[in-house]
Structure 1
Amino acid sequence: MTVLAAVFLLSVPAKAQVTPFMQAVAEAAASDPGIAAFYRANGYKPIWTGKGNKDRNRRSALLKALKNADDHALPVASYNTELLKANLRRITSKREPGKAEVEMSRIFLKYARDLQTGILTPSRVDSEIVRAVPLRDRTKLLMAFTKSNPTKFLRGLPPKAPEYARLLKAKVAMEKQLGRGGWGPTVPARSLKPGQSGSTVVALRNRLIAMGYMKRSASQSYDAAMQAAVQQFQLAHGLAADGVAGAGTMTEINRQIEERLPSVLVAIERERWMNLPRGKRHIWVNLTDFTATVVDNEKVTFRTRSVIGKNTADRRSPEFSDIMEYMEINPNWNVPRSISVKEYLPGMIASGGGSAGHLQLIDGRGRVVSRSSVNWAAYSARNFPYDLRQPPSRGNALGLVKFMFPNRHNIYLHDTPAKNLFAREVRAFSHGCIRLNDPFDFAYKLLAKQESDPVNYFQSILKSGRNTRVPLDEHVPVHLVYRTAFTDAKGRVHYRRDVYGRDAKIFNALRKAGVELRALRG
């Protein structure tokens, strides 16, 4: 007997007999504190392997749930159900039920964890996914299960968010389509436009019908119905919706269902990572969609285009959730140290302090230092003692307002003078923070909760030119997410580019964990 098992068995009442089953449970659970605590609390009694109806119902409910785990894009093989059933059938000693008992609890907890909060640990897949997954307490989970109807309890484990249910429905539909051969032949043309006809247009028509963007038709020309279908496809894929199947649109149309289904499976896993209340009002920034939205009671009430971090190691926008506490009108831009020494300091040293004149030098006491008093030749990136700051102005890198949810990543939402970038289809240009196309309207939306005239209130502060912090009376949750597949209220799946390659990493990790693409036939 291990030392830990012996310690656990000390909790058994003196008058109670320590049976081989109890001893086996204590030994098997010794390496798992959560399970050990549960059995210690319940007196080492069985919840799976007993002969009564309650234990039988729990076993049956769990085995049925595990059998259908791939409905939720979970790794069925990892639960070893066949081995578990074989071990239950081969019990020959008084100790073996104890081992089987603990093994069933382990499998139950693995399944519950996978289904509730995800199979993977996000940061282990990509260090820039710094999301805190809301893991459940293992001991409490077992206790709650034993006090509940097992079938209802297991059915209640998945996320309740409507998006999760819609993604599961889309997954099944795509698996059935895959079982029928997918979306059919690709379109053998680089591009097509309204007014054209012929075999390639027929191929495009058939492809759009198979994908669900067009009703059945015998038309062989690129007519108004096909143009509308192409526009719907473009809107669902983040493309300019001009109704012309240009080279970019055709590339996306010709992607096979086997390329799209992984995005849905990854989105399902990502939903599990966020299985927690998001806030009746919250801000949802989908990095791959290049949008920021305000969501009230699960409905989008405001939307604006965004620019996200450039796809380089030191600029990619991370994924996390936090709480927006205030906005800053006429902000200073306190230049991050990395930008100061990499992008500005070399030119300042070379010019004797003449370059980057829009930036102030700030000493350790927060005082502005005259450039003429600095011996520039004495400094390098290693020993430069000053911070750089850009005071409020229309040319300020943060524009005229920023929205703060203080975090260790120094990420926030803000205005920008570089308005031309919002016209781009792919908008990954920043140093990591999120730039907004309509920051004033975004501010008005937030202030409307606490000001009777949010526009005039905001504009009066703006016109003062003074750096002003405006607290939000009600703090707002902010979620920076990365969804290459997401649904709308009608259930249609929208797809976006994997701009940082994160979803490819996640899908590879899911496959290693045992998740498989599934084709449903019949």
Structure 2
Amino acid sequence: MTASCLGVGRAALVAMMMAGAALAPFVAAGPARAQMLSGFAQAVAETAAAEPALAAFYAARGHAPLWTTAEAASRRAAFFAALDQADANGLPVARYRAEELRARFAAIETERERGQLDAAMSLAYLAWARDISSGALEPKKIDAGIVREIRRPDPQALLNGLLASPAPARFLRDLAPKSPRYAALVKARLDLQAEIATGGWGPEVAAKRLGPGDSGPGVIALRDRLIRMGYLRRSVSATYDGDLHRAVQTYQLDQGIKADGVAGEGTLARINRTPEERMKSILVALERLRWMNGLDLGKRHIWVNLPDFTARIVDDGKMSFETVTVVGMNQGDRRTPEFSDVMEMMVINPSWSVPRSITVKEYLPMMQRNPGAAGHIQLVDSRGRAVARESVNFAAYNARNFPFAMRQPPSNGNALGLVKFLFPNPYNIYLHDTPSKSLFQKDVRAFSHGCIRVGRPFDLAYALLAAQEADPEGYFKSVLKTGAETTVKLRDPVPVHLVYFTAFPNAQGRIEYRDDVYGRDAALFAALDKAGVALAPLTN
């Protein structure tokens, strides 16, 4: 049945709907009306069948429309406005088919088409709502080291929530992450898009090293690039003066590298990166924050950013403690995974139970060559009893059938140092002290087997114990002095978040960048790109 058969032209019918008039009242009563409604309902049911939750939602409402009536005008407008911001949020715009849906509203001729469009709008809404609230990708399918549990929204809750909301624009806006980090990254995306549109940050700096007192074309290129990046006020100086020195220092701080104010090879390599390269980090960071949306970080929590090589305690949104870290090396299963858990205890004077993989892959071959190798580590049987090395024929075993475990007793030379911090998890990851202090002096600190070594472990212990001990330092040292392995439970367990952000806002509002030490961002951006996320604004 066409609109003309109903006695009203297509343009008039669409105009009435879009202006706020419901379609159904313009159909005659009796069999014709029943036929019309049946056509609408059947089209809704057929189209909604692609998503079981949506089919159930419509069925529960007698297939009543959600988008194509007069009453839905504000809901419809709010959703299209939200779709107009999908690109700013770094979402795959084409996935939601906004322009096609708009065009279909202007071309409706039959009730069947209206039913198909109503359900199509709902499918687009569910796709967008899922993406904006919890991410457009399934990270575990892209990198096995991203084991974060993602809280996907319930489709029925999304549909019923929107239906019941008296302020649909606010309801849709609240689906996105509300953290200041997310808002700052959206702004950074828009700023970078503007830079890309105007040609970027200018010519690359063609130099290997620039420092105070230097002058010439290289200094001019460096000056102009830092001006475009917002690190330096406009000037015409061709000399590497104090202002330029300070600007380079600030830039280095924002890159997490040694801030000596000299533009060496590493600094210049970063300065020469394009806005497009930086945009990739921003887009992946937005996606990672969506994965964490709805997660209660905790009034007090520990934030461990792997590529930043830092661990921080955050209290009421403000950093109260910071330390450098060493994370897993960029090899196979030694890369530190990303997940959230809860720190429940610390162990003072810990022993080290050597992971099975290290025992059979590293120590067993050593002991096969020399039974006395790694003699500072005990060999223990299945009942935890120490076994004399000379009683074992190591050549008789391999990685599959080696029946012993290995354990290093508490000591100053213990691989875990003098304290470890436990948040029990399936990946056997924890924070700990280390006797290998020199590694904390390096810019890139990916050297461990996966656990996180802490540069200021005692201070971290004091900060955590302060919530339950009047003299946290005195208490810790008294336990440490005993030399005995002692477990101290935290009265108030603290959430721990192991995250991977190569782009994040700092307290001054600038975006800091870090290197993609594990290559995870590159893989995630490739997936976002494949899904349709664009570096630059989409144009018609």
Output the TM-score relative to the length of structure 1.
Answer: 0.93
Match of 1:46 among 38, 52, 65: 65
Q: Percent identity?
A: 57
- Deviation of 1:22 (Å): 2.4
- Return the alpha-carbon distance in structure 1 between the equivalents of residues 535 and 391 of structure 2: 66
- Return the alpha-carbon distance in structure 1 between the equivalents of residues 434 and 170 of structure 2: 51
Where do 1:350-499 residues align within 5 Å? Answer: 350-351=369-370, 353-499=371-517
- Return the alpha-carbon distance in structure 1 between the equivalents of residues 147 and 128 of structure 2: 23
- Return the alpha-carbon distance in structure 2 between the equivalents of residues 507 and 63 of structure 1: 26
- In the other structure, the counterpart of 2:73 is 56
- Deviation of 1:355 (Å): 1.1
- In the other structure, the counterpart of 1:322 is 341
Alignment of 1:133 with 2:150, yes or no, is yes
- Return the alpha-carbon distance in structure 2 between the equivalents of residues 108 and 453 of structure 1: 55
Q: Tell me the number of residue pairs that the alignment of Structure 1 and Structure 2 aligns.
A: 502
AA aligned opposite 1:138: P
- Return the alpha-carbon distance in structure 2 between the equivalents of residues 36 and 368 of structure 1: 63
AA aligned opposite 2:87: D
- Deviation of 1:211 (Å): 0.9
- Deviation of 1:519 (Å): 5.7
- Return the alpha-carbon distance in structure 1 between the equivalents of residues 399 and 169 of structure 2: 62
- Return the alpha-carbon distance in structure 1 between the equivalents of residues 99 and 218 of structure 2: 50
1:330–1:462 contact (8 Å) kept in structure 2: yes
- Deviation of 1:375 (Å): 2.9
- Return the alpha-carbon distance in structure 2 between the equivalents of residues 386 and 520 of structure 1: 60
- Return the alpha-carbon distance in structure 2 between the equivalents of residues 171 and 92 of structure 1: 40
- Return the alpha-carbon distance in structure 1 between the equivalents of residues 521 and 398 of structure 2: 39
- In the other structure, the counterpart of 1:117 is 134
Equivalent position SS for 1:45: coil
Match of 2:364 among 322, 328, 345: 345
- Return the alpha-carbon distance in structure 1 between the equivalents of residues 235 and 293 of structure 2: 42
Equivalent position SS for 1:268: helix
2:136–2:287 contact (8 Å) kept in structure 1: yes
| Deviations 1:230-288 (CA, angstroms, capped at 9, x unpaired) | 10010011110001111111111111112111111111111111112211111000111
- Return the alpha-carbon distance in structure 1 between the equivalents of residues 277 and 42 of structure 2: 51
- Deviation of 1:383 (Å): 1.1
- In the other structure, the counterpart of 2:13 is none
Higher mean C-alpha displacement, 41-50 vs 385-394: 41-50
- Return the alpha-carbon distance in structure 1 between the equivalents of residues 42 and 171 of structure 2: 29
Higher mean C-alpha displacement, 281-290 vs 213-222: 213-222
Alignment of 1:86 with 2:103, yes or no, is yes
1:284–1:295 contact (8 Å) kept in structure 2: yes
Where do 1:127-276 residues align within 5 Å? Answer: 127-148=144-165, 149-276=167-294
- Return the alpha-carbon distance in structure 1 between the equivalents of residues 432 and 60 of structure 2: 52
- Return the alpha-carbon distance in structure 1 between the equivalents of residues 536 and 132 of structure 2: 18
- In the other structure, the counterpart of 2:118 is 101
1:170–1:491 contact (8 Å) kept in structure 2: no
| Deviations 1:374-421 (CA, angstroms, capped at 9, x unpaired) | 233322222110111111111111111110111111111000000000
- In the other structure, the counterpart of 1:302 is 321
- Return the alpha-carbon distance in structure 2 between the equivalents of residues 27 and 186 of structure 1: 56
- Return the alpha-carbon distance in structure 2 between the equivalents of residues 180 and 84 of structure 1: 32
Pick closer, same or farther for the CA change 1:313–1:29 going to 2, 3 Å. Answer: same
- Return the alpha-carbon distance in structure 2 between the equivalents of residues 222 and 403 of structure 1: 47
Equivalent position SS for 2:334: coil
- In the other structure, the counterpart of 1:518 is 536
Equivalent position SS for 1:258: helix
1:71–1:168 contact (8 Å) kept in structure 2: yes
- In the other structure, the counterpart of 1:4 is none
Higher mean C-alpha displacement, 466-475 vs 373-382: 373-382
Pick closer, same or farther for the CA change 1:519–1:187 going to 2, 3 Å. Answer: farther
| Deviations 1:331-381 (CA, angstroms, capped at 9, x unpaired) | 111111110001101111222x21111111221122222223323332222
Alignment of 1:22 with 2:41, yes or no, is yes
1:175–1:520 contact (8 Å) kept in structure 2: no
Equivalent position SS for 2:496: strand
- Return the alpha-carbon distance in structure 1 between the equivalents of residues 492 and 60 of structure 2: 42
Segments of 5+ residues of structure 1 without an aligned counterpart are 1-16
Output the TM-score relative to the length of structure 2.
Answer: 0.90
- In the other structure, the counterpart of 2:15 is none
Equivalent position SS for 1:494: strand
Pick closer, same or farther for the CA change 1:312–1:259 going to 2, 3 Å. Answer: same
- In the other structure, the counterpart of 1:65 is 82
- Return the alpha-carbon distance in structure 2 between the equivalents of residues 253 and 234 of structure 1: 9
2:87–2:537 contact (8 Å) kept in structure 1: no
- Return the alpha-carbon distance in structure 1 between the equivalents of residues 400 and 171 of structure 2: 58
1:402–1:413 contact (8 Å) kept in structure 2: yes
- Please list every run of at least 4 consecutive aligned residues from structure 1 whose deviation after the TM superposition is greater than 4 angstroms: none
- Deviation of 1:91 (Å): 3.2
Equivalent position SS for 2:78: helix
Pick closer, same or farther for the CA change 1:243–1:520 going to 2, 3 Å. Answer: farther
AA aligned opposite 2:47: A
- Deviation of 1:472 (Å): 0.6
1:179–1:520 contact (8 Å) kept in structure 2: no
Equivalent position SS for 2:88: helix
Segments of 5+ residues of structure 2 without an aligned counterpart are 1-33
1:334–1:390 contact (8 Å) kept in structure 2: yes
Root-mean-square deviation (CA, aligned residues, Å) is: 1.6
1:266–1:503 contact (8 Å) kept in structure 2: yes
Pick closer, same or farther for the CA change 1:254–1:377 going to 2, 3 Å. Answer: closer
- Return the alpha-carbon distance in structure 2 between the equivalents of residues 92 and 207 of structure 1: 56
AA aligned opposite 2:319: V
AA aligned opposite 2:345: Y
- Return the alpha-carbon distance in structure 2 between the equivalents of residues 467 and 258 of structure 1: 52
- Return the alpha-carbon distance in structure 1 between the equivalents of residues 132 and 395 of structure 2: 60
